Structure 1
Amino acid sequence: MNKVFAHIAQWVAEQAGRPHSFILAAVIVIFWGASGPLFGFSDTWQLVINTGTTIVTFLMVFLIQNSQNRDTRALHLKLDELIRVTSSAKNSFINLEDHTEQELEALKRSFDDECQAAPPLTTAEDGKPQP
């Protein structure tokens, strides 16, 4: 079941980001707007677009979130691997995304302190930073 959902979510997320999906959505809205006079701009006419967009939005939130979670997880794993194989990197940064907000804020403050203590970069005539 998870594999099927992941496959569908990935496919829908890819399709939703393509130009033809936007064009289809725009055509539907234009057709709906043009049909207003035919239906007398009734409450039912308005309810059709409101219900349709609400249902699509509700479902897309879950599908896109699934796709985004998978992409983020893969990105973190790739970064963790780079940290792991880089000798000068701090291995304590692996799985940093699992730390609390307070721990991340403390780490950010320590980075800010290191940046303040570091000598400023100067620029050479060619525009490249110099240590």
Structure 2
Amino acid sequence: MPPAPLPAAPTGSAFFARLAGTVTAWSGSTLAFSLALGTVLVWAVTGPLFQYSETWQLVINTGTTIITFLMVFLIQRAQNKDSLVLHLKLNELIAAHKGASNRLINAQDFTEEEINLLHGYFCLLAEKARQDHDLGRTHSVEEAEENHQEKKRAHR
């Protein structure tokens, strides 16, 4: 049975997503940096013309504050999307790999306590692999424990 189609995003949301992605990509460009630097240089050079007045200072403070305020939300939106896409790709790899533990699918939704518990298990797994001098052999805590016990029995 084919997977169910994904729901379409509302038109306004899709527009904002495209806008956020475009602005975020552009804001990291050399042109954007050059424009920002040029603006600051023009502002600095005009200081003597305006006698370094409070209004002159207020112009740059207000402009940078507004731009920063808006960019925080646009960049956060783009980061949220990138993070979600990365999680989906990792979930696909975990689900598709026969030896991988499905318990890690959607690990981003775990509580901090659950994450710390799993971190402890993976530290144990890494320690067992280190003791076995084979970092790539096991795929899960259960498999690591089973392999470790088998090796102990074989060495007796």
**Structure 2 match to 1:105:** 116
CA–CA distance in structure 1, aligned partners of residues 30 and 136 of structure 2? 44
- In structure 1, runs of 5+ residues without a counterpart are 123-128
Counterpart of 1:76 in structure 2: which amino acid?
H
CA–CA distance in structure 2, aligned partners of residues 44 and 115 of structure 1? 61
Instruction: Return the match for 1:9 from 1, 13, 20.
Output: 20
Q: How many pairs does the alignment contain? A: 125
Contact in 2 for aligned 1:121/1:130 (Cα 8 Å): no
| CA deviation string 1:51-106 (max 9, x = no partner) | 00000000000000000100111111011001111000001110000001110011
TM-score relative to the length of structure 1: 0.90
1:60 aligns with 2:71: yes
Which ranges of 4 or more aligned residues in structure 1 deviate by more than 3 Å?
none
Kindly tell me: are residues 93 and 41 of structure 1, through their superposed partners in 2, closer, same or farther at Cα, counting changes over 3 Å? Answer: same
CA–CA distance in structure 1, aligned partners of residues 98 and 33 of structure 2? 46
CA–CA distance in structure 1, aligned partners of residues 132 and 30 of structure 2? 45
CA–CA distance in structure 2, aligned partners of residues 47 and 72 of structure 1? 37
**Structure 1 match to 2:150:** none
Larger Rg, first or second structure (1 or 2)? 2
> Shift of the alpha carbon at 1:121?
3.6
SS across alignment from 1:41:
coil
TM-score relative to the length of structure 2: 0.76
Instruction: Return the match for 1:80 from 91, 103, 109.
Output: 91
Instruction: Return the match for 1:24 from 22, 27, 35.
Output: 35
CA–CA distance in structure 2, aligned partners of residues 19 and 6 of structure 1? 22
Contact in 2 for aligned 1:83/1:94 (Cα 8 Å): yes
RMSD: 1.7
Identity across the alignment (%):
46
SS across alignment from 1:102:
helix
